[in-house]
Structure 1
Amino acid sequence: MFEVEDIREWRDHDVVDEGRHKIGTLESIYVDTATDQPSFATVTVGLPTRRRLVFVPLAEATVGPGYLKVPYSRQLVKDAPWIDTDGVLPAEDEPAVFKHYELPYQAGAGGERRLARR
């Protein structure tokens, strides 16, 4: 894994799948509010007239020269829950992001959100 400070430098770089096929470009990092560690990224995908941000987990992601590689297929990522390029992830939609990647979801101890944009 990498530090949040390091991954911020990768904004606007390519995000590629396990076969190095381009998925889109890195937009933002979301940290797990319980650990303050990078948890998900948003990736800009779509045609210029219909761009959107999809979510992808950062666990087991690696960085290379000019790219961030995630251990998921391009199609799985493109089918992930998404928001508009100027949108925000509503709290009630967080569980769907985790479910899409078959990851466990549990709200914070006080019911707080799990993901925060950094």
Structure 2
Amino acid sequence: MFEAEDIREWRGHDVVDADKKKIGSLESVYVDTATDAPSFATVTVGLPTRRRLVFVPLGDATVGPGYLKVTWDRNLAKDAPSIDTDGELLAEDEPQVFSHYGLPYTTGTAGERRLARR
């Protein structure tokens, strides 16, 4: 797994699934607010005139020469909750992102958001 500090070096690189099928291009990383560990990536997908950012979990992600490989299927990732390329993830939309991948979602102990963009 890459370190969150290294994300600037990986921005724009391909994000691929376990079969090395391209999902899209890495835009940014969201970290878990409790651990500050990389949790989700936003990946640019779509046609040039209709681009959007989908959320893809980074658990067990690995890097290769010029790509970031995630463990999730390309089609599942492309159907994931998304935001506009200049949009933000709203707090009330966080649970949907986790649910799409069958991941548990809990807020912080004081009810704070779970994800923060880095």
TM-score where L is the length of structure 2: 0.98
Question: C-alpha displacement at 1:3, in angstroms?
Answer: 1.2
Q: C-alpha separation between the residues in 1 aligned to 2:12 and 2:38?
A: 17
Q: C-alpha separation between the residues in 1 aligned to 2:117 and 2:6?
A: 15
| Superposition pairs of residues 78-97 of structure 1, within 5 angstroms | 78-97=78-97
Question: C-alpha displacement at 1:9, in angstroms?
Answer: 1.2
Q: C-alpha separation between the residues in 1 aligned to 2:43 and 2:2?
A: 18
Question: C-alpha displacement at 1:59, in angstroms?
Answer: 0.3
Identity %, equivalent residues = 78
Aligned 8 A contact 1:29 1:39 in 2: yes
Aligned 8 A contact 2:99 2:105 in 1: yes
SS at match of 2:113: coil
* Number of equivalenced pairs: 118
Give the aligned partner of residue 76 of structure 1: 76
Which residue identity is paired with 2:71?
A: P
Q: C-alpha separation between the residues in 1 aligned to 2:62 and 2:6?
A: 12
SS at match of 1:105: coil
Aligned 8 A contact 1:8 1:29 in 2: no
Q: C-alpha separation between the residues in 2 aligned to 1:63 and 1:6?
A: 12
Residues 52-84 of structure 1 deviation map (CA, whole Å, 9 limit, x = unaligned): 000000000000000000001110000000000
Q: Which runs of 5+ in 2 are unaligned?
A: none
Q: Which runs of 5+ in 1 are unaligned?
A: none
Q: C-alpha separation between the residues in 1 aligned to 2:7 and 2:89?
A: 20
Q: C-alpha separation between the residues in 2 aligned to 1:34 and 1:20?
A: 31
Moved over 6 A (4+): none
- Indicate the RMSD between aligned Cα atoms, in angstroms: 0.7
SS at match of 1:5: helix
Which residue identity is paired with 1:36?
A: D
